[in-house]
A and B are shown apart, each in its own frame.
Chain A
Amino acid sequence: MASQKKFWQWSRGTYRFLIVLCASVLIISIIMFYKYGDELHWDAKEKDTYIETPENDTERIENGIHLRTGLKEGVGLTETINNCTTCHSAKLVTQNRMDRERWTATIRWMQKTQNLWDLGPNEEIIVNYLVTNYPPGKKGRRENLDNVEWYELKN
């Protein structure tokens, strides 16, 4: 089966990569320790070290949207991601539009029934973020049909 083969190839690839990675780290560490061991300062406070981390693609924000979650960029985004996307998808947030009272009531309901923790000082930050970025709009009793994709009908 193709899926089996793909899975096997994937596993093999992953393990090869891991083995090579571990081996390289080990060898480089030994060499470095041997060459520069004496110069090492064991107390980290003595010397500032900077670790460069490559920018994580999935945490990028483009056109005001946090790519991984689809949430809008704004004050409180991080707190919202950390507290509101552990159990459910951010899509449940981005689909909904509520005022302050109803977003707060939703948090209370999750705390009462869905194991949501006490948000502490983050609650105000999160509710402000939600009300600012996902407030209710007026739809009336029936909206116009929009986003119509026009096409020639062949009978």
Chain B
Amino acid sequence: MNRRKFVRRSALAAFAGLIGTDIVFGAKMTEGYVPLGAQDPDPFDLFDKDPEMVLLNDKPWNMEARAHLLDDSITPNKYMFIRNNGIVPEQNEVSDWKLTVDGESVKQQKSYSLSDLKSRFAPHTYQLTLECGGNGRAEFDPPAKGNQWTIGAVSCAQWTGVRLRDVLEDVGIKNDAVYIGYHGADLHLTRDPNKEPISRGVPMSKALQDETLIAFQMNGKDIPLVHGHPLRLVAGGWPASVSGKWLKRISVRNKVHDGEKMEGSSYRMPCEPIAPGEVISDDDMCIIESMPVKSLITHPKSGAMLAKGKTMDIRGHAWAGELEVGKMEYSIDFGATWKPCSLEKPVNRLAWQRFSANIAFPKKGYYEIWAKATDTKGLSQPMILPGWNPKGYLNNACHRIAVKIT
């Protein structure tokens, strides 16, 4: 055994000691690879995130973007929010990764290796808006429990994979199929192997859409570890929690999936609206499906000062869950008057849409620019907080930036 090997093996043993468990596939670990559990927990380095991103939680990892970081048409990894419920799986060797499709409503249980998926089904690429159901939670009063997302838990990256529908057709689905539920390789925070951190899903109608993918690439590269490497279910336009990371298993259910965070008040809204702070029984909560219409001003960054007489170019993105955005407007007088923005079509269904405008200001002083999107069914973003709910979901109140004309 040469010295280098000795050092590496002893280091592995030391890591195992630190983590308190054996490292499966430790022998196959790439040289220089440090398991996540033992790494210096600088999440910006660890996950290649921009230092301007905001860390909300380090166990589990949760990080959000700021509006001006989301200016790219296609969100790069460094600006993509992280929302984890459990512990990122320690994973370096994926050649024996298998995706199993099972459940009450499959004609037969079937497993696929990564190469099976890539070789047997046609690849598709879509740009898909993924927004956390709790994006905007920080504004609710009384405060809602959970990570206090402000506006940055949204992204629109380009995802490449195979259609879930194609795989389900290959497996064979019974007529009584109602829902699919995913199971990932992440660990529960307690490391209790009998607990799943999260296992959500979608009704068959969403599962069978063209754009619902079993993805293996993000922005043309392998999906980054923290975003679900090597496989992720991606269902754009719905709460991002249905896009299960580190996908190991899909269960086709003959009832609404009852996995972790499907029940209780998780990712549910009061079926009938309630007053702020009102106590509501879990039985009166309904599962969130499509996300509501929303937009973000991504340029300029809030706080811009401009000399009087100059005009200001603004731009951003708007999205509307399952729908398209039909109209985009801005206001510089707290909603008293609205002026139109130019609005592009989405590159594909469920992708966000670019908007822009050129603004002239009547006199010096403090202004707020408010942005308001309206979907193709005529629903607009509210200017104040929408319906209060115990977990603080679906805040789509219009985005505001502060500017000064000097």
CB neighbours (8 Å) of A102 from chain B are 145
Asked if residues A8 and B7 are in contact (CB atoms below 8 Å), the reply is yes
Question: What 0/1 pattern do residues 106 to 137 of A give for CB contact below 8 A with B?
Answer: 10000000110000000000000000000011
Asked if residues B402 and A8 are in contact (CB atoms below 8 Å), the reply is no
| Residues of chain B at interface, number, CB under 8 A | 47
Within B122-158, the residues touching A (CB, 8 Å) are: 139-143, 145-148
- B384 CB to closest chain A CB, in angstroms? 4
Asked if residues A11 and B141 are in contact (CB atoms below 8 Å), the reply is no
- B110 CB to closest chain A CB, in angstroms? 32
Asked if residues A96 and B145 are in contact (CB atoms below 8 Å), the reply is yes
Asked if residues A95 and B7 are in contact (CB atoms below 8 Å), the reply is no
Partner of A15, one of B10, B195, B303, B401: B10
- A76 CB to closest chain B CB, in angstroms? 20
Asked if residues A95 and B385 are in contact (CB atoms below 8 Å), the reply is no
CB neighbours (8 Å) of A145 from chain B are 302, 368, 400-402
Asked if residues B402 and A7 are in contact (CB atoms below 8 Å), the reply is no
Cβ of A43 under 8 Å from chain B? no
Asked if residues A92 and B141 are in contact (CB atoms below 8 Å), the reply is no
Cβ of B300 under 8 Å from chain A? yes
Asked if residues B141 and A141 are in contact (CB atoms below 8 Å), the reply is yes
Partner of B31, one of A4, A89, A136: A4
Asked if residues A140 and B141 are in contact (CB atoms below 8 Å), the reply is yes
Cβ of B32 under 8 Å from chain A? yes
CB neighbours (8 Å) of A150 from chain B are 303, 305, 404
Asked if residues A97 and B384 are in contact (CB atoms below 8 Å), the reply is no
Cβ of A98 under 8 Å from chain B? yes
Main secondary structure of the interface of A (DSSP, over half): loop
Partner of B147, one of A87, A92, A143, A151: A92
CB neighbours (8 Å) of A98 from chain B are 143, 145
CB neighbours (8 Å) of B142 from chain A are 99, 136
Complex alpha-carbon distance, A152 and B404, angstroms: 9
Stretch of B52-60, B73-81, B169-177 on the interface side:
B52-60
Asked if residues B148 and A96 are in contact (CB atoms below 8 Å), the reply is yes
Asked if residues A88 and B141 are in contact (CB atoms below 8 Å), the reply is no
Cβ of B304 under 8 Å from chain A? yes
CB neighbours (8 Å) of A1 from chain B are 32
**Chain A CB within 10 Å — which of B31, B141, B195 has the most?**
B141
Asked if residues B143 and A96 are in contact (CB atoms below 8 Å), the reply is yes
Whether A114 touches B189, Cβ cut-off 8 Å, given contacts A11-B11, A153-B312, is yes
Complex alpha-carbon distance, A143 and B136, angstroms: 13
Asked if residues A141 and B302 are in contact (CB atoms below 8 Å), the reply is no
- A1 CB to closest chain B CB, in angstroms? 6
- A2 CB to closest chain B CB, in angstroms? 9
Partner of A88, one of B59, B303, B312, B402: B59
- A23 CB to closest chain B CB, in angstroms? 17
Complex alpha-carbon distance, A97 and B10, angstroms: 45
Whether A142 touches B384, Cβ cut-off 8 Å, given contacts A148-B402, A151-B304, is yes
Nearest B residue (CB) for A10: B11
- B220 CB to closest chain A CB, in angstroms? 23
Asked if residues B189 and A87 are in contact (CB atoms below 8 Å), the reply is yes
Complex alpha-carbon distance, A8 and B189, angstroms: 31
Complex alpha-carbon distance, A95 and B62, angstroms: 12
Asked if residues A153 and B148 are in contact (CB atoms below 8 Å), the reply is no
Cβ of B93 under 8 Å from chain A? no
Partner of B190, one of A4, A87, A91, A153: A87
Asked if residues A155 and B313 are in contact (CB atoms below 8 Å), the reply is yes
For the complex of A and B, the 10 pairs showing the least CB-CB separation, nearest first, are A4-B32, A89-B59, A153-B304, A139-B141, A141-B384, A97-B143, A95-B148, A87-B189, A115-B190, A148-B303
10 pairs from A and B in contact (CB 8 Å cutoff)? A11-B7, A12-B7, A15-B10, A89-B57, A96-B145, A142-B383, A149-B302, A149-B303, A152-B305, A155-B312
For the complex with contacts A88-B57, A91-B56, A142-B397, 19 further pairs of A-B residues with Cβ separation under 8 Å are A1-B32, A11-B10, A11-B11, A87-B59, A89-B60, A92-B57, A95-B148, A138-B141, A139-B140, A141-B141, A141-B385, A145-B302, A145-B401, A150-B404, A151-B303, A151-B305, A153-B300, A155-B310, A155-B313
